[in-house]
Amino acid sequence: MSSHLQWMVIRNCSSFLLKRNGQTYSTEPNNLKSRNSFRYNGLVHRKTVGVQPAADGKGIVVVLKKRAGQRKPVSTYEKITINKNSRATLSSVRHIIGKNNYRRDLRMAALRRASAILKSQKPVVVKKKRTRAAKTA
């Protein structure tokens, strides 16, 4: 079944839909922007990209949907764990998507999601408030 036909079937009646603030969001896996749109949908395309935080809380996992083996759900997804510094991680994501010609239209969305995940994994630094010494007259 073509991806356009699948989209026409699930666009208004999916179990992943959320309607809030006049917008329609989607919670399906591999939807980078959580929007209910054909472009970002993670169910209907043969090739999809997903970015998730790693299980240990350090780094990210890039999930790619393989073109071959669509009928075998266990082996459909390829997970690549990247645990480097921020710049190297983003470079790796850029190369995985761009250099392999794998859904180039999702490159910026994947980079933004990876960047947000990496930023959330950094420890929060609490700034100390400077106090003035009390004046003595």
The one-digit pLDDT tens for each residue of the chain (137 residues) are: 888 999 999 999 989 999 999 999 999 999 999 899 999 998 898 888 999 999 998 999 999 988 777 788 888 889 999 999 999 999 999 999 988 888 889 999 999 999 999 999 998 888 888 887 777 76
- Spatial strand order of the sheet with 60-65 comes to 49-53, 60-65, 77-82
> How far is 106 from 41, CA to CA, in rounded Å?
11
Query: How many C-beta atoms surround the C-beta of residue 44 within 10 A?
Result: 19
Specify the pLDDT at position 37: 92
Give the type of residue at 17: L
> How far is 132 from 77, CA to CA, in rounded Å?
58
